[in-house]
Amino acid sequence: MKSYLSEEDRLKITIRKNYLERDAIKAKIINYINRLTYLCSDEKWENCKRARHKRAILDEHLVNLPEFTVEKRPKLEDDLTTVTRNKRLLQIGLFDHLKKAKDALEQEKSNKTIQMHQMQNKRVEDKLEEERKMFEKNELEHIENKIIAYIKDIKNLEKNIKNDEGKLVKLTLINHYDKMKNFISTNTYPTIFWRPLKYNEKTELLQKNTQDFIKKKIEAIKSTNYEIDFNDEGWMQQFSNLKEMINRKIMAHGERQAEEDEKEVEEEDKEVE
């Protein structure tokens, strides 16, 4: 089957395809880096910032509102019957409810069934915490393996791009100078190629000298390296820094959780005494 694309066009298509694949892989790596960055961030701090930002926006809208004064309402004086009734309702309703709640809480502390239930809940929470830590560890390992594989793919694509672009530059220059063989070049710089209407012995000699010059130029182009170099993005360094931050955060969370557990145990011991 006859190919309608020249070698130069095929190289351009291949280079463009490799660049697109490289950009797609870079986007995946950036996505993983962003996930790790999110794990390092403090959600509470972000929520506080959003709340402050929201309040600031509301304050901006309230600045231009007209001032107004609230009319003072006349103070109503309750009679003795109403005051007595309110006190009785408060004592019967709220105080009795609080007393019953306090008694129920004391009974729960001394109830073995409830204590066993609380211990079971504590074991479940510890189990969930261990599973969460294991999940984060596995996720970090998964992300690390993915980033290493993606970096390897990018290196291969960059190697192919370097080779193809070097070939493309050489091929373009060779085709360009090869067309100049039918012209005569000047000895001045920049070189000007010209062609007479009719050739004579002198112009034919000049053309032959130009052809020899172009042959040397083409040989120099073939021996020249036109490959480009790609900068190292430092993905693994970023991943290592984020991984270290996450590990420190996990350790700090574990220490804080241990301190809270110790305080709870001390409070329970005091209540038992």
**Chunked mean pLDDT (size 10), the chain, 273 residues:** 72 91 90 81 51 46 54 66 73 72 71 73 80 80 88 90 90 88 84 85 88 89 84 82 78 69 61 51
| pLDDT for the residue 1 | 39
pLDDT value for 64? 54
Distance of CA 245 to the CA centre of its chain: 15
Backbone torsions φ then ψ of 231, nearest 5 degrees:
-80, 145
Tell the burial category of 164 from Cβ atoms under 10 Å away from its Cβ (0-12, 13-18, 19+): buried
Residue 268, pLDDT score:
57
Residue-level pLDDT at 49: 46
Q: Find, among 223, 210, 225, 226, the residue nearest to 178 by Cα.
A: 210
**Element (DSSP H or E) covering residue 214:** helix 201-223
Which pTM value belongs to this model? 0.59
C-beta separation of 14 from 164 below 8 A = yes
Calculate the CA dihedral of residues 241, 260, 102, 271 and round it to 10 degrees: 180
Q: What residue ranges do the domains of the chain occupy? A: 8-29+116-228, 234-272
What is the pLDDT, as a whole number, of residue 24? 92
Looking at residue 17, what is its pLDDT?
93
How far apart (Å, rounded) are the C-alpha atoms in residues 85 and 94?
14
Q: What is the pLDDT of residue 39?
A: 74
